[in-house]
Every structure is written in C-alpha cells, then in structure tokens.
Amino acid sequence: MTTLPTRSGLAELSAQGRLGLAWHALPWVLAFVVFYMAEGYLSLWTNALIMILLTLSLDLALGYAGIVTLGQAAFFGFGAYAAGLFAIHVHNDPLIGLVTATALSGLFGFVTGILILHTQGVTLLMLTLAVAGLLAEWANRAYEITGGDDGLQGVRMGPVLGLFRFDLYGKTAYLYSLAVLFVWFVVVWRIIVSPFGRSLDGIRQNPARMRAIGTPVWWRLVAIYTISAAMAGTAGALSAQTTRFVGLTTLSVLVSGTALVMLMLGGTRRIYGAFLGATVYVIVQDYAAKVNPFYWMFFIGALLMATVLFLEGGLMDLGATVRKYWRRAPVKKP
C-alpha cells in the first residue's frame, strides 16, 4: 500500500524492480557475454570489473552519504599492498588474502573516518586527500617493505579455492573478480534499501533534520566510510592478485579522480551507475587510445562534459532524458 518516494534514488531502484528481473540480470549476462567474446582482452575487462567495484564504493560514501572524498585511492592502494604483502609473507591463498586485505582496509577507513568525519565540505576533501598523500609518501619511503618506486614484485598467487589456477589468458582472474564484485553488489543493494541506507540518504540531504530525530550522524558516517573503505580495499586487493604487481600508482590521487569521473559518467545513487560509468570509461579509453594515443583524455573529458551538461543523473538518465525531449519536441512546433 504505502509506496516509496516518487523520484529519489531509492525509488528509482524500486521502479526498476517492478520492471522485473530482466534489467537486473542484464549487467551479469553481459559480463558473461564479455567473457566468451573478449578473448585476449580479458585483462582489460578484469580491470573494468575492479574499477566498477571501486566506483561502487565511492557511490556509497559520496553518492549516498554525501561524504566529499577524493581519498578512495588510499584504501585502494592500502588493499593492494595488504594483499600483495600477505601473499608474499604469509599465505598465497587468494581468498584468505582478499578477506584480510578487505578487513584491514576497513579498519584503516574506520580509524581515519573517526579522525576526519566531524569536518565537512572542503576541509573534509582536503583531509581525505591528505590521508591518501601521507600513505603514498610512506609507501614511497618504505622501500624495504613496499619496494618503493619499483613496486611490490614477486607476488605469487595460489589457486582460487585451491582449485582454479590463475591462467595465462586471465579467465580465472576475470571470473574471480566478477564473483567478488557480485558479492559486494548484493551487500550494497541491501544497504541502500535498508533503514540504515535511508538514514544515510537523509544525512546527505539534511544533517540538521537527522539530528533532530535523534540520528547519531557521526557514527553513521563512520560506519558507511568503513564499509566503503573495505570495499575499495577489496578492489585494490583484486588488482594486486590479478596483476601480481602493486605499484605506487595504486595510491595516486588519479585513482580517486578516475573513480569520481566514472561515477559522474554513470550517475550517482543508482547502483548501476558505477557499472555503466566504469564500463563506458574503459571502452572509450581503449578505443580512443588506439585512434590517438595522446588525446584519449580529451575524449573522456568531452564525454564527461556532455554527460554532466545534458544528463542530470549521468548516463543512467539517458533513456529518461531522450524520452522527455521526444515527447516535448512536437509541442514546440508553432
């Protein structure tokens, strides 16, 4: 009887829900199509899956909870180094390494979140950048541990579940990443439709309102920041395990920026926005780099500008926007 709001991000989701399972199955079906079609390209698509995961983690913090952050790289890199070091020094089982890296990244997010989440806006943005910057600087200096500029070499991974070896064609890496992405996707889904997710949506819109109904705003933000950090850590760990290398670039602010561009492209607070944005980005980047290796950033930039200017909610809004103009067009005629 009672229905969800008319057009908020959450309603969008439930409206799609009524369209049936077909839409929700689509991304995963496409993922398998890619698996069978993209022979020789699988490492590119594995990277796309990892970037989707990272973008989704940003959507939780920035999109839903409104935490202005450019610090996702800190957790991505942290997760990558954690997974790499774990494989080298402790155990080469991918899943144990992945879970450990995820948990440690979450802990790192929790501690930094407690320190910085009482601030807002530009101050918060600067602090998230500072955390990423400090970590990058540390990784650069701690040559004995991280390999500094040369990166972390010699990561050897055991087979997934003791059964599936990482093969030369990247098939295992792709399916492994896809499975991990799916697990996180389900978690994110649960969060955003839950009362917890709704309270985050409220905090983003109006913290004063949430305080007036008794919401412990700061704790809720710390909680989602921790989850988001853990998720970004998983993405980093996947990157380390599937490429068997961790470099300083995993900690660079460029990683945060790329995730932000992907999120803006696809659309915030739409769960599939991360999927669409990251995929389009990777395709355009790959294609444009072939056409002209020096100007691929130009294509991405132009695409982003067009999206932000014409599509309020990113590419996820493309269908709705086209329909709107389609309907309006005949009326304009004199």
Partner 1 sequence: MTATPALSVSGLSKNFGALAVAQSIDLDLVPGARMGLIGPNGAGKTTFVNLLTGMLRPDAGSISLGGEPIDRLKPEDRVRRGLARTHQINTLLNETSVCENVAIAIAERDRIAWRTLRFGPQWRACLDEAQDRLRQIGIAEVADRRVSELPYGQQRLLEIAIALALKPRVLLLDEPAAGVPSAESHVIHDVLEQLPADIAILIIEHDMDVVFRFAREITVLVQGRILTRGEPAVIAANPEVRAVYLGRSVV
The answer to whether residue 208 forms part of the interface with partner 1 (CB under 8 A) is yes
Q: In residues, how long is the chain?
A: 334
Residues 164 and 147: their CA atoms lie apart, in Å, by: 29
- Among the residue ranges 12-20, 117-125, 186-194, 252-260, the one whose residues contact partner 1 (CB under 8 A): 186-194
Q: Minimum distance from CB of 189 to partner 1 (Å)?
A: 10
Q: Minimum distance from CB of 113 to partner 1 (Å)?
A: 16
Main-chain dihedrals φ then ψ at residue 206, nearest 5 degrees: -165, 90
- Among the residue ranges 93-101, 155-163, 197-205, 244-252, the one whose residues contact partner 1 (CB under 8 A): 197-205
Radius of gyration (C-alpha) of the chain in whole angstroms: 20
Single residue of 20, 195, 293, 334 touching partner 1 by CB under 8 A: 195
- Among the residue ranges 106-114, 192-200, 234-242, 311-319, the one whose residues contact partner 1 (CB under 8 A): 192-200
Q: Minimum distance from CB of 203 to partner 1 (Å)?
A: 10
Distances (CA, A) of 125 to 62, 70, 273: 11, 6, 22
Single residue of 21, 22, 163, 212 touching partner 1 by CB under 8 A: 212
- Among the residue ranges 4-12, 13-21, 41-49, 280-288, the one whose residues contact partner 1 (CB under 8 A): 4-12
The answer to whether residue 270 forms part of the interface with partner 1 (CB under 8 A) is no
**Nearer CB in complex with partner 1: 13/50:** 13
**Nearer CB in complex with partner 1: 192/232:** 192
Single residue of 42, 82, 157, 220 touching partner 1 by CB under 8 A: 220
DSSP class per residue in 158-204: --BTTTB---TTSHHHHHHHHHHHHHHHHHHHHHHHSHHHHHHHHHH
The answer to whether residue 4 forms part of the interface with partner 1 (CB under 8 A) is yes
Q: What is the largest CA-CA distance in the chain?
A: 74
Q: Residues in contact with partner 1, total (CB under 8 A)?
A: 32
Residues 1 and 10: their CA atoms lie apart, in Å, by: 17
Single residue of 7, 91, 118, 323 touching partner 1 by CB under 8 A: 7
DSSP, res 62: I
Do residues 230 and 103 lie in contact, with contact meaning Cβ atoms separated by under 8 Å? yes
Q: Shortest CA distance to 177 belongs to which of 44, 73, 266, 82?
A: 44
**Nearer CB in complex with partner 1: 227/259:** 227
Distances (CA, A) of 324 to 294, 311, 316, 321, 327: 37, 11, 14, 5, 5
The answer to whether residue 55 forms part of the interface with partner 1 (CB under 8 A) is no
Single residue of 118, 209, 323, 324 touching partner 1 by CB under 8 A: 209
Per-residue buried b or exposed e for 268-288, using 16+ beta carbons within 10 Å of the residue's own CB: bbbbbbbbbbbbbbbebbeeb
Q: Minimum distance from CB of 268 to partner 1 (Å)?
A: 12
- Among the residue ranges 78-86, 141-149, 215-223, 243-251, the one whose residues contact partner 1 (CB under 8 A): 215-223
Spacing of C-alpha 142 from chain mean position: 27
- Among the residue ranges 97-105, 146-154, 187-195, 249-257, the one whose residues contact partner 1 (CB under 8 A): 187-195
Single residue of 16, 92, 119, 215 touching partner 1 by CB under 8 A: 215
Q: Minimum distance from CB of 54 to partner 1 (Å)?
A: 21
Do residues 55 and 262 lie in contact, with contact meaning Cβ atoms separated by under 8 Å? yes
The answer to whether residue 2 forms part of the interface with partner 1 (CB under 8 A) is yes
Residue at token pair 């839409």: 23
Q: Shortest CA distance to 269 belongs to which of 68, 53, 18, 60?
A: 60
Name the residues that contact partner 1, by CB under 8 A: 1-8, 11, 190-191, 194-199, 201-202, 205-206, 208-209, 211-217, 220, 223
